[in-house]
Amino acid sequence: MQMTIEKLNEIQERNKELVALRKLIAEQASEMLEHSQYRKQILVCGGTGCTSSGSKKVIDALEAEIKEKNLTDVLVVKTGCFGLCALGPVVIVYPEGAFYSQTTVEGAKRIIDEHIIGGKICKDLLYPETVCENGEILPLNATRFYKKQMRIALKNCGVIDPENIEEYIALDGYKALHKVLTSMSQDEVIETMLASGLRGRGGAGFPTGKKWAFAKASKGDIKYVCCNADEGDPGAFMDRSILEGDPHAIIEAMAIAAYTIGAHEGYIYVRAEYPIAVDRLKIAIAQANEYGLLGKDIFGTGFDFNLEIRLGAGAFVCGEETALMTSIEGKRGEPRPRPPFPAVKGLFGKPTVLNNVETYANVAQIILKGADWYSSIGTETSKGTKVFALGGKITNVGLVEVPMGTTLREIIEEIGGGIPDGKKFKAAQTGGPSGGCIPACHIDTPIDYESLSRIGSMMGSGGLIIMDETTCMVDIAKFYLEFTCEESCGKCSPCRIGTRRLLQLLEKITAGKGTMEDLDKIEELSSHMKVSCLCALGQTASNPVVSTLKYFREEYLAHIVDKTCPAKKCKALLKYRIVSDKCKGCTLCARNCPVKAIKGTVKQPHVIDGDKCIRCGVCMSNCKFGAIIKD
Amino acid sequence: MDNENRPVFRGTPKQERELKKVIEKHKNQPGGLMPTLQEAQGIYGYLPYEVQKMIAEGLGVPLSEVYGVATFYSQFSLTPKGEHRISVCLGTACYVKGADKILAAIEERLGIKTGECTPDGLFSIESCRCLGACGLAPVMTVDGEVYGKCTPESAVKVIESYLSKEV
Amino acid sequence: MKKMIHLKINNIPVTVPEGTTILQAAKTANIEIPSLCYLKDVNCIGACRVCVVEIVGRRGLVASCVYPVEEGMEVLTNTPLVRSSRKTTIELILSTHHKKCLSCVRGNNCELQKLAYDYAIDEDRFKGEEPIYKIDDSAPYVVRDNNKCIQCLRCVSTCDKVQTVGAIGQIRRGFDVHVGSPFEIGLGATSCVGCGQCIVSCPVGALYERSNIDEIWDAISDPKKKVVFFTAPSIAATLGECFGMPVGTNVENKMVQAIKMLGDVSVFNMNVTADLTIMEEANELLERLKSDKPLPMFTSCCPGWIKFCEHNYPELLPNLSTCKSPQGMFGALLKSYYCQKNNIDPKDLYVVSVIPCTAKKFETSRPELSNAGIPDVDVAITTRELSRMIKGAGIAFKDLEGAEFDNPFAIASGAGALFGATGGVMEAALRTAACLIDGTNEKLEFMDVRGTSGIKEATYRIAGTEVNVCVASGLGNARKVIEMIQSGEKNYLFVEIMACPGGCVNGGGQPVQSDSVRNYSELKAKRASVLYHADKEGELRLSHENPVMTMLYDEYFEAPGKAKAHSLLHTHYTPRNKF
């Protein structure tokens, strides 16, 4: 179909109210609903988090119930991620904006019976924080989790049905592409991007406008735009959520980028571990083609743009831009030296622009709302917002988007709801295996590119892992090194061998065999890899080691000098001991010990033979008197 | 893997026809090797010598290159997987919540290591890097079904439930 | 004219054309930046990180082998940071390397060992887990020892990009990455053509020929055996390098004398069968023109090319000249004519060919090149192996006065000598053709087919018609030529193909020259100049004027292509699997 602005407007009008009310609540929304064919809308999160906790069963139950009760005026919408993954499956009912968390199949039935039919919200099923003492229901935006958030990249996530292009269009979708194609020159787009201050959200923070300008300036008959959706940082899922919740935002932005640099073909490189995101993308691309928003002569302007999906196959290094392009070319995903930069010689040797998902998610809105609007958000050098995947030892595990400059404390204590089980915050890790840890003393650091790198971490792609006092920092450094070691492509010698040697030194330390000389070697190897490796994977591989060594040196020393692990994590350094006062001599521990390391006679205090003990912890978990402790 | 120790190839004519179609589809596509390998693994479950050879011949790529790509990416497998594929997430969020202990418990229960398959071909264990279900950490999957908020005990129970289904 | 770039390297002003790398630019300031993975025309991937340098104003270090110069750039190649980085990198590489230098074939010219010395490294500082690999000796010509491999990938690049054979590649990733054949099936089971170019590009001892030296010593000391050697044209041009003589020294007479000093052996000149090849091949070409046999005709002297064709272009086998290679012809000649004439039982004649080539080791094992189970050539050894025998025998090679080849196979034409360089077979054939067909021997030098470029074309007027010929060296170039022929883009009558870039002077069995020689000088051209010089200086420059030819045809073969010649000097080929 040939898309025109008239048709686009018509689709928008047709769907506008249906979608708009999901951003409102109560009276306004009810009013809006009067014109609608639907009396109630039930939104269920269909993101990976909620799907994993059973949202599909909830949707099936809701739909079965609706069918059975013949409720033709109730709409069930499967959306993308709401953000509060720990509370999934998440269900929200409009116009009330009632936010049900951890919904079960039974709960779904009650929602239909009591809430939809009976008109009475099931308050006991709601997210507790949204229920006030006086029984009033708070809108989601008023909860601690959402209050300080600002949603730009995630604007449509949890709002629209990502498998329905018309809902995207209803919220100004593809308007930016129309604007660019019909009223802006390539240079004007670049100017806007530059003025907005948008920087790459993949981690390095390179100004997006500059990247586009370089690629535009490169001569070439064929150029490419690529999207990096190979979200490799373990514990990060921002890009996945955007693709699952708002795939058209990426397609539209890539088309804008293509127009700007003069490309007609694009590739989205997605991790194969993201089946839902891939499915939604496929549907979105097919719909965009059907609606004439991809393909030939878009909006009748003569601009052609085709988009293809390529799946990764399990290689973290393919998140590096040159490796990603090598992988799209069907080869071993090894990075290439730069220069030449991709803007000059990229995919298949042609000028190429590569941005990550979250970067693209900002583009259409910058075009529509203007560079001034965007640059008014954030800090001096870092504009806009940043999405973080908040995980680890934190109450509200989930997806958050905050303006640049928000402090770590705000994210952890307010949005994240603090550390569970009354434990103490120890450190946060940003940037995943390439980043560093931020200790408690820097918790008030505003989050922007420069501040984070100043304290030895980095913005990274948005993984934010919270650690408490039970996390051993040497062990966590070892964990990251294991990761990079396994994911090193092996092309350059400092990374191929350096990561392995670094890991071996850390293993030695956590096994209680480390020496002070090993610490020197760790420092030497770390700084060697930083300057000598071919790509960012190797250059940053030592960051988790360097930063933990910087802030938690005493923990390393405890492992090396005292042969103890303060967090009681490193098995080889643990000692299980029976407190003789508490031991009743029940012999349960001795009978359960797999290596017969516990000696003692009935009704007499038992003793653990430290040389035989393999530190499996079975005795401790079996003791009914709390007589066994580890130190 | 030594040439002599390669498992016997039991491909069917139907699988071969499907593979030929896949090869035809990607033959003239730039960078078609990766998608071909992915779809071939979908057909056969793994990428044995015979399959890679057909791909090399079909796409006109040296076998050494096909094999190089197949051994570079961790999702390609050269050996058959178990009937039930267990995957434990070792992403950071799961790791700080004790995913290593879950993996160890499953390895102990089945008597195999990660990357191996039980002698009866019933189970294979893999580890993966972040399924994105960090909210449910620690997480494992069996045949794609996600099991969240695991403990070593609950994980072993899940495995046993599959075992009892088999008997 | 390329734009010139001005920069400073260690404060020395340098001006070089745009696109030059820092490593190349540094050489103009007399600075040789060390490297391991970089090899001119072969491998340029910036992977080993030994060639790192600092650029003022830029964070970190860059690999000078891939980094192009920029206007106003200031490069520092010898700062504390650079030195310590190189040292640590070399120490890391050595921590995974089997340091068996005493028994290593490259013990005296290993590039890694040299760097370890230059940077005074401590080999134990980063000691740790070392990968252990099985040695691949499944092929009769090349042995691969991954325990010594340093992942520079020069061999892979040679095999895959230069030769387009792709018998070996990278396997797995990270610390486990290694070079090998697919599914580790062993080189012998792959489509490896045995060219040995991987050996001469390896900086360490991870690749070497399967040595046959011991068998030869056994034969020499066996009183029942009569041992004869014959040496290929290019050996005289390169053997001196093994004894520290400058590249481009002709050591023919020293070589002959040295071999004679190994024991009671005869030494023959393989250029004789090069002349014989011209006789037979020229005749075959004329016959093809008269009949409906397929054209163009391809030369068949190079066993690497033959095996490549068998694996990759079985449809072209009818286009290959049926002539055996000069080695094959010589073997057949010795085990028939020579034995009969001298009353030797072919079983007791032990034939050693000295060749610049590892593929010829494979050729000796071909059943087509044997008679009643007795191989025509018993063993083929490389230039390197010959030098080890000479050294092992304690011969002061450089001081030898020299000796002549033994009769009856001593005299050969200059045309035969040219076989050792790319274009040489073509030139020898063109000389004879011009002379025999047009009756003129004024034109002896065919400059269009000379030089080291990979593909050379020429058109000559012979017998009143324009004849297109093509010369390719390096199998990647051969592939290009074949594709052009098959697509109909080009039309040739006669095509010469040599598997090794530059021809036999740069063969896989030739002395290994380090990267500093290969990167900064024209090794192939210097070696080839020995052959062209010998041809020019010699009196006999036409194959068919060689009196040995007259003798052979008069006494034995009657005429080219006749029954006896056909059965002894010609062969056939077998299609092989692509992988």
Tell me, yes or no, whether C20 and C45 share the same domain: yes
The B-side interface with A (CB below 8 A) comprises 30-35, 37-38, 65, 68-69, 72-76, 90-97, 128-137, 139, 146, 148
> Which residues in chain B have their CB less than 8 angstroms from residue A471's CB?
96
Average pLDDT of the residues in A421-440: 94
What's chain B's length in residues? 167
- Confidence at residue B6, expressed as pLDDT on a 0 to 100 scale: 67
d(CA C42, CA B142): 47
B119-133: b (≥16 Cβ within 10 Å) or e: eeeebbbbbbbbbbb
Tell me, yes or no, whether C18 and C39 share the same domain: yes
Residue percentage of chain A with pLDDT more than 70: 98
Residue percentage of chain B with pLDDT more than 70: 95
d(CA C248, CA C257): 19
- Confidence at residue A25, expressed as pLDDT on a 0 to 100 scale: 53
User: With the CA atoms of A224, A227, A230 and A235 taken in that order, what torsion angle do they form, in degrees rounded to the nearest 10?
Assistant: 160
Q: In what order do the strands lie in the sheet with B145-147?
A: B123-128, B84-89, B140-142, B145-147
d(CA A465, CA A474): 16
Average pLDDT of the residues in A546-550: 97
- Which CATH number does the domain housing residue C347 bear? 3.40.950.10
Catalytic residues of C: 281, 284, 301, 321, 360, 363, 368, 504
pLDDT digits (tens, 9 = 90+) for C249-265: 999 999 999 999 999 99
Residue C252 within a domain: yes
Put simply, the chain A residues between 487 and 506 with a CB less than 8 A from any chain C CB are 487-494, 496-501, 504
Please give the interface size between B and C, counted as residue pairs whose CB atoms are below 8 Å apart.
Answer: 54
* pLDDT of C434 over the 90 cut: no
Tell me, yes or no, whether C66 and C143 share the same domain: no
Residue C417 within a domain: yes
Phi, psi angle pair for C178, to nearest 5°:
-155, 165
The model's pTM is 0.94
d(CA A93, CA C297): 81
B49–C183 C-beta distance less than 8 A: yes
Among residues C202, C183, C175, C42, the alpha carbon closest in space to that of C109 is found at C202
Phi, psi angle pair for C100, to nearest 5°:
-100, 60
Tell me, yes or no, whether C190 and C316 share the same domain: no
Q: Which residue has the tokens 């009976």?
A: A118
DSSP letter for A423, please: P
pLDDT digits (tens, 9 = 90+) for B11-52: 999 999 999 999 999 999 999 999 999 999 999 999 999 999
B137–A274 C-beta distance less than 8 A: no
Average pLDDT of the residues in A499-527: 97
Among residues C272, C325, C286, C281, the alpha carbon closest in space to that of C303 is found at C325
d(CA A153, CA A415): 18
- Confidence at residue C464, expressed as pLDDT on a 0 to 100 scale: 82
Tell me, yes or no, whether C410 and C434 share the same domain: yes
> Which residues in chain C have their CB less than 8 angstroms from residue B60's CB?
none
pLDDT digits (tens, 9 = 90+) for A152-173: 999 999 999 999 999 999 999 9
C49–A490 C-beta distance less than 8 A: no
Chain C neighbours, 3+ Cβ pairs < 8 A = A, B
B64–C168 C-beta distance less than 8 A: yes
- Ordered by where they begin, the domains of chain A are 16-139 (3.40.30.10), 165-375 (3.40.50.11540), 385-468 (3.10.20.600), 473-562 (1.20.1440.230), 575-630 (3.30.70.20)
Residue A16, chain C, CB below 8 Å: the answer is: no
* pLDDT of C84 over the 70 cut: yes
Q: Looking at C209, C243, C274, which one is the last position of a domain? A: C209
* pLDDT of C16 over the 60 cut: yes
Average pLDDT of the residues in C298-325: 98
Residue C88 within a domain: no
- Confidence at residue A474, expressed as pLDDT on a 0 to 100 scale: 97
Residue C516 within a domain: yes
Tell me, yes or no, whether C298 and C352 share the same domain: yes
What's chain A's length in residues? 631
Residue C120 within a domain: no
- Confidence at residue A88, expressed as pLDDT on a 0 to 100 scale: 87
- Which CATH number does the domain housing residue C29 bear? 3.10.20.740
Residue percentage of chain A with pLDDT more than 90: 86
Chain-wide mean pLDDT for chain B?
Answer: 91
- Confidence at residue A137, expressed as pLDDT on a 0 to 100 scale: 87
Q: Looking at C209, C240, C262, which one is the last position of a domain? A: C209
Residue C510 within a domain: yes
pLDDT digits (tens, 9 = 90+) for A263-292: 999 999 999 889 999 999 999 999 999 999
Beta bridge partners of A578: A628
Put simply, the chain A residues between 301 and 340 with a CB less than 8 A from any chain B CB are 310-316, 327-333
The C-side interface with B (CB below 8 A) comprises 160, 165-173, 181-186, 189-190, 578-579
- Confidence at residue C532, expressed as pLDDT on a 0 to 100 scale: 97
Phi, psi angle pair for A475, to nearest 5°:
-65, -40
**Confidence class for position C119, pLDDT limits 50, 70, 90:** very high
Tell me, yes or no, whether C203 and C253 share the same domain: no
How many domains is chain C partitioned into structurally?
3
Closest-CA distance of chain C to residue B74, Å: 9
Query: Which residues, at least 6 apart from C151, have a Cβ–Cβ distance to it below 8 Å?
Result: A490, A491, A493, A496, C47, C48, C177, C178, C179
Put simply, the chain A residues between 125 and 154 with a CB less than 8 A from any chain B CB are none
**Confidence class for position B1, pLDDT limits 50, 70, 90:** very low
Tell me, yes or no, whether C336 and C458 share the same domain: yes
Tell me, yes or no, whether C229 and C159 share the same domain: no
Tell me, yes or no, whether C475 and C532 share the same domain: yes
* pLDDT of B4 over the 80 cut: no
Q: First CA to last CA across chain C, in angstroms?
A: 44
By C-alpha distance, the chain A residue nearest B141 is A52
pLDDT digits (tens, 9 = 90+) for A457-507: 899 899 999 999 999 999 999 999 999 999 999 999 999 999 999 999 999
* pLDDT of C326 over the 70 cut: yes
Q: In what order do the strands lie in the sheet with C379-382?
A: C265-269, C226-231, C349-355, C379-382
> Which residues in chain B have their CB less than 8 angstroms from residue C578's CB?
56-57
Chain-wide mean pLDDT for chain A?
Answer: 94
Residue from C76, C83, C175 to probe the interface with A (highest A Cβ count within 10 Å): C175
Residue C153 within a domain: yes
By C-alpha distance, the chain C residue nearest A489 is C174
Q: Looking at C186, C209, C232, which one is the last position of a domain? A: C209
**Confidence class for position A24, pLDDT limits 50, 70, 90:** low
**Confidence class for position C435, pLDDT limits 50, 70, 90:** confident
- Confidence at residue C340, expressed as pLDDT on a 0 to 100 scale: 96
Residue C188 within a domain: yes
Cβ atoms of C418 and C531 closer than 8 Å:
yes
Chain-wide mean pLDDT for chain C?
Answer: 96
* pLDDT of B2 over the 60 cut: no
Provide the pairing of β-strand A352-356 with A385-392.
Answer: unpaired
Provide the pairing of β-strand B140-142 with B84-89.
Answer: antiparallel
DSSP A136-187: -B--GGGSHHHHT---STTTTTTTS-TT-HHHHHHTTTTHHHHHHHHH--HH
- Confidence at residue A161, expressed as pLDDT on a 0 to 100 scale: 97
Query: Which domain does C51 fall in, by range?
Result: 4-78
> Which residues in chain A have their CB less than 8 angstroms from residue C151's CB?
490-491, 493, 496
Phi, psi angle pair for C16, to nearest 5°:
-140, 160
Among residues C579, C63, C150, B36, the alpha carbon closest in space to that of A331 is found at B36
Tell me, yes or no, whether C203 and C265 share the same domain: no
* pLDDT of A234 over the 80 cut: yes
> Which residues in chain B have their CB less than 8 angstroms from residue A240's CB?
132
Tell me, yes or no, whether C353 and C270 share the same domain: yes
Cβ atoms of A252 and A279 closer than 8 Å:
no
Average pLDDT of the residues in A98-119: 95
Cβ atoms of A483 and A225 closer than 8 Å:
no
Chain A neighbours, 3+ Cβ pairs < 8 A = B, C
Read off the amino acid at residue C390: I
* pLDDT of A362 over the 60 cut: yes
